[in-house]
Structure 1
Amino acid sequence: MKIWNKRLSTLCLASMILVAGCGGGKQGADTPAQDNGAKTDKKITYDMFFSLGIPEYPENGGEAKAKIIQGMEKAGITNVDFKVSLMGSEYTTKLNLLASSGELPDFFGVDTTTLTQFIDQGLIMPLDDLLKDAPHLMKVIPKERWEGVTFDGKIYAIPSGVREEPFNSPNTNGLLIRQDWLEQTGLKQPTTLDELHAVLNAFANNDPDQNGKKDTFGLGGSKTSQFNVVFGAFGVNPYFWTERDGKIVKGFTLPETKEALAVLQQWYKEGLIDPEFPVMEPKQFETRVTNSKVGAFEYDAFSVDPKGATLPEALVKATPTAKLMMVTPPKGPDGKMGYPEVNPYAGGALKSISAKTEQPEKLIQMLDWSVSDDENGGVNLLTYGEENVDYTYDKEKNLIAQTSTYSELYQKGFSNPVRFVQVVDRRWTNDNVRTALETASKDLIKNELWKAVPAQLDYPDLENKLWLEYFVKIVTGTWSVDKYDEFVQKYYQQGGQEIEKQANEEWSKNK
């Protein structure tokens, strides 16, 4: 069955640029190609291509390559070499050019849309038989993640993995609140929408920074903000597929979304939300935070540590008493709550093997070793470098202390460029960050379907433009909340009905 009936030729034939080939698993000159799956043990070099903009990584793999190969040999994986190529913003364009020229790399990152296109073109190898000999991959990758990369009963990509510690959940974002402002205004951490409303009101009107001016807002954001915490209090996320009456529907078509919009419009009218959020760039928003103009905003859990990221470091530098805390998502009127779960297939997390790759069973061995933390496993080496040189490990505290910076690791040839399969591993975090990460991950709004369907490419403006227009104009009071009903009608009339139909067909396959 064809998964896609069109598109790849449209995407790729526009360019006649010749791209240097990097596929096919390069073997020695005296090594014949594999015949009918017969295994050989001749030396092979696997070409790998990942969506990463890391200029420090050396083209030849740096000093780390010999150590990595030595580590594989110690684990019994011999006659294997690798070459990693990286590209930033133009990654997808380059990958499509490689595909159109028949020169896909052996192992490469894909998004869900490209994955389905390449499967339809016969460019990607099914992995089911190979994964039978990959126990560490199967252990570290959650079972449900394989569903999103299974088409017509076959697995075509390797998702990212997750270590078992609770602070390793992929979810990192939630509502951060200025704890020092809470203390200043005499309030406690909000647990309901009503309590959050009271906190935001105090932040906007009770001079929490004690400068004698009314120049602060309760809730901040930028033009990319959706205020997920409010929608979560009604049990929905606008962009997620939600099960209702035996089928799935988009969150922004549900009546709960209208209720959330009504709350946001009221808060905006009361001056609790930064009025410039619809036109504010993310960097401008961060400046608002640094200058203590907003008391609550959605951001990542690492920001509770002043030394953990640029934003909190700049905030504490400007206001030494500032302290951020991650709060449990507040409950709505019916007791619903949650932050949206993170897309497990986004950000280059999916990796596929070219249909032309030779000795794929050896490549799978290599990938399986790369996520193993057994005695001869490779996960610590690839991620953190050499123990007692680039990092130390406190087993009792389960704490990794990095002595080499990421830039230094990249220059050596370690860390993200050679983390062939991404595994969430935050053993380097302190207790405060771990607590915040667990808070951000405990109560989640789930998405019933992460796979893209063809109709979503046919009607991209329904989410990217139509919903955003109604969202902004309703929240800011330009339109009444009742205008939301018009949005739902337009969505279905302009292509949403077909999107929903295809999504349910795909969803029903995995029920």
Structure 2
Amino acid sequence: MPLVLTAILMSGCSSDLLEQEDPRGHDPKWDDPPQSISIAINGQSSTFPPGLDENHNPYLDFIEKNTNLDVQVMLPPVNGYVDKLNVIMASGQLPDMINTGSAAFLSNYVKQGALKPLDEYIDKYGPDLKRLIPQEAWDQVTMNGKIYAVPSLNEVMGTQIMYVRKDWLDRLGLQPPRTIGEYREVMRAFAENDPDGNGKADTLGFSIADQLGRTAPIFGAFGTQQNSWYERNGTLVYSATLPETKKALAFLAELYRDNLLDPDFPLNTTESLGDKVASGKVGLYAAAWFDTRGPIERSRANDSRANWIPLDYPTGLDGQKGTYGISAVRSYNVVPATSDRAEAVVKLLNFIGGKGNKTLKLGLENEVWSSKDGKMVTDFEQHNKHLYRGIYSSLCDTVVPEVTKQRLDSLGERFRLWDNVQSIHANLIKAHYTGAPTPAMGSYNFKLLKIQDDYFTKIVMGLSPLDDFDRFVEVWKQEGGDEITKEINDWYAAQRR
């Protein structure tokens, strides 16, 4: 069942989550002394207020009081995090739980027999996990018929939505574009007709990020997305090998040839793309849903005339449109086979994803936020001071729509965050493979994605002819793609039995 629908269906029972344990209230009474467990998690470059750290702060106190656990937190370096986890796995000094965003990490260590199956512990100690995590997510952590991780969910199932400077449209007498052809004409006008009125040729028609980042709505107009698996004639095929992808690349190559696409896109990080938006060089791009509080807000601060509005997704010749649908799973919590504390790990995650969810996600009530006239009001100074709480809440994120809306609206309704998310969810082009990473994926994906990026970037820049796409398809198949495709379709056949 899709995550969004699951979240809606479970809204009737989510009142349990709105009655949170009080982190400032009484200690539950426990008959047994606290059980110690150690966990290695991603610190997300978080900073702690003076006197606090990952093992001494009110949010960890909140977790420990309500679970009767003594949690020892390890924060491997954020840079090279997965590499450090590999070192830990080889060290013989393993924690009781490891959190990773790498599907390959999960797949590789299951193959090696280095991770503990968790089915019996989830059945006994994870009632909220079973209730709040949809089957789609459990499928992604199930291998050989066993569950090897507790998944943390993506609260938002996609990222990109088109935004445009309406003041530029108005200056040039243009209407908001709807079709892919109309989008091209707006790009041309923004590149050639001085939309900011400063008399200089210093604006870009359209900008994207490196590795063809921030192009999901463009690919959507051709009925596909990058790096997904779709059904064609009863079998699953990799989207990057489809004729639809070749057409999308041809469109982007035409933009580049006609000087409508940012010529420096291969050098654009997400941050540098945001800087171009904020500085007034870009007036049309595929924004992340939260960019209205980021580069778009900075653009408004830099230029009071900047009036950004969301657009309909560009519609292609066949009426197709949409954006990339991301995995239901954000990260994986695994228990090394050497640990005898899987029970405690599941209890920890059951609380974080269940009764502890609201406090850990939103912050301490009446300190970070409060209720006023039925709405959540955030103290942004305290909110920012308490951002480190995310290292705990993200371990087992679950989706409760009313909590999500409260949180997003409290950050400022003018940013349209909730509306942006709803627009994305209504226009997802969903992948048809939702299983765990296959062994061949673990072996070949890194190399194949590098090959794909090299071919696609050269095609868009005109350094290689469009027909090199067909050569890419052959190389992809020979370098492991055929093996991955077989495993994917074995899974698909098993799902339909």
CA–CA distance in structure 2, aligned partners of residues 452 and 267 of structure 1: 35
Aligned to 2:315: 331
Q: What letter matches 1:367 in structure 2?
A: L
For the structure 1 residues 273 and 59, does the alpha-carbon distance in structure 2 shift closer, same or farther, using more than 3 Å as the test?
A: closer
Instruction: After TM superposition, list the pairs within 5 Å mapping 1:100-499 onto structure 2.
Output: 100-110=90-100, 111-133=102-124, 134-161=126-153, 168-226=155-213, 227-304=215-292, 308-309=293-294, 311-346=295-330, 349-372=331-354, 377-393=355-371, 396-397=374-375, 399=376, 401-409=378-386, 414-417=389-392, 419-423=394-398, 425=404, 427-430=406-409, 431=413, 432-449=416-433, 451-460=436-445, 463-499=448-484
Instruction: Answer whether contact 1:291 1:318 (CA < 8 A) is retained.
Output: yes
CA–CA distance in structure 2, aligned partners of residues 99 and 190 of structure 1: 52
Instruction: Answer whether contact 1:223 1:278 (CA < 8 A) is retained.
Output: yes
Q: What letter matches 2:245 in structure 1?
A: T
Q: What letter matches 1:185 in structure 2?
A: L
CA–CA distance in structure 1, aligned partners of residues 62 and 264 of structure 2: 52
Is the counterpart of residue 96 in structure 1 residue 79 in structure 2?
Answer: no
Aligned to 1:36: none
Aligned to 2:22: none
For the structure 1 residues 359 and 456, does the alpha-carbon distance in structure 2 shift closer, same or farther, using more than 3 Å as the test?
A: closer
CA–CA distance in structure 2, aligned partners of residues 489 and 122 of structure 1: 34
Shift of 1:220: 0.5
Give the root-mean-square deviation of aligned CA atoms: 2.6
CA–CA distance in structure 1, aligned partners of residues 270 and 148 of structure 2: 35
For the structure 1 residues 63 and 279, does the alpha-carbon distance in structure 2 shift closer, same or farther, using more than 3 Å as the test?
A: closer
CA–CA distance in structure 2, aligned partners of residues 325 and 426 of structure 1: 20
For the structure 1 residues 323 and 343, does the alpha-carbon distance in structure 2 shift closer, same or farther, using more than 3 Å as the test?
A: farther
Shift of 1:443: 0.9
Q: What letter matches 2:86 in structure 1?
A: N
Q: Secondary structure at the match of 2:99?
A: strand
Q: Secondary structure at the match of 2:149?
A: coil
Q: What letter matches 1:498 in structure 2?
A: E
CA–CA distance in structure 2, aligned partners of residues 510 and 475 of structure 1: 37
After superposition, what is the alpha-carbon deviation per residue over 1:179-224, rounded to whole angstroms, capped at 9, x for unaligned? Answer: 3222323333322211211221222222211112332222112323
CA–CA distance in structure 1, aligned partners of residues 158 and 151 of structure 2: 16
Instruction: Answer whether contact 1:230 1:260 (CA < 8 A) is retained.
Output: yes
Is the counterpart of residue 504 in structure 1 residue 483 in structure 2?
Answer: no
Q: What letter matches 2:202 in structure 1?
A: D
Q: Identical aligned pairs, as a percentage?
A: 30
After superposition, what is the alpha-carbon deviation per residue over 1:300-343, rounded to whole angstroms, capped at 9, x for unaligned? Answer: 11222xxx22x233312221221333323211111111111123
After superposition, what is the alpha-carbon deviation per residue over 1:460-490, rounded to whole angstroms, capped at 9, x for unaligned? Answer: 4653332222212222223332232222222
For the structure 1 residues 143 and 456, does the alpha-carbon distance in structure 2 shift closer, same or farther, using more than 3 Å as the test?
A: closer
For the structure 1 residues 288 and 420, does the alpha-carbon distance in structure 2 shift closer, same or farther, using more than 3 Å as the test?
A: closer
For the structure 1 residues 303 and 273, does the alpha-carbon distance in structure 2 shift closer, same or farther, using more than 3 Å as the test?
A: same
For the structure 1 residues 90 and 217, does the alpha-carbon distance in structure 2 shift closer, same or farther, using more than 3 Å as the test?
A: closer
Aligned to 1:28: none
Higher helix share: 2
Q: Say which structure, 1 or 2, has more relative contact order (CA 8 Å, 6+ apart).
A: 2
Shift of 1:381: 2.4
Instruction: Answer whether contact 2:357 2:397 (CA < 8 A) is retained.
Output: no
Instruction: After TM superposition, list the pairs within 5 Å mapping 1:50-69 onto structure 2.
Output: 50-52=41-43, 53-56=45-48, 58-69=53-64
CA–CA distance in structure 2, aligned partners of residues 406 and 256 of structure 1: 44
Instruction: Answer whether contact 1:48 1:83 (CA < 8 A) is retained.
Output: yes
Q: Report the TM-score, using the length of structure 2 for normalisation.
A: 0.82
Shift of 1:249: 1.4
CA–CA distance in structure 1, aligned partners of residues 32 and 245 of structure 2: 58
CA–CA distance in structure 2, aligned partners of residues 265 and 65 of structure 1: 51
CA–CA distance in structure 1, aligned partners of residues 394 and 267 of structure 2: 37
Q: What letter matches 1:95 in structure 2?
A: L
CA–CA distance in structure 2, aligned partners of residues 401 and 49 of structure 1: 30
Shift of 1:42: 4.4
CA–CA distance in structure 1, aligned partners of residues 268 and 363 of structure 2: 40
- Equivalent of residue 81 in structure 1, options 54, 66, 70: 70
Q: Report the TM-score, using the length of structure 1 for normalisation.
A: 0.80
CA–CA distance in structure 2, aligned partners of residues 494 and 122 of structure 1: 26
Shift of 1:281: 4.0
Q: Secondary structure at the match of 1:48?
A: strand
Structure 1 stretches (4+) deviating beyond 6 angstroms? none
For the structure 1 residues 406 and 423, does the alpha-carbon distance in structure 2 shift closer, same or farther, using more than 3 Å as the test?
A: farther
Gap regions ≥5 residues in structure 2: 1-30
Instruction: Answer whether contact 1:371 1:421 (CA < 8 A) is retained.
Output: yes
Shift of 1:231: 1.3
Instruction: Answer whether contact 1:384 1:390 (CA < 8 A) is retained.
Output: yes
Instruction: Answer whether contact 2:161 2:286 (CA < 8 A) is retained.
Output: yes
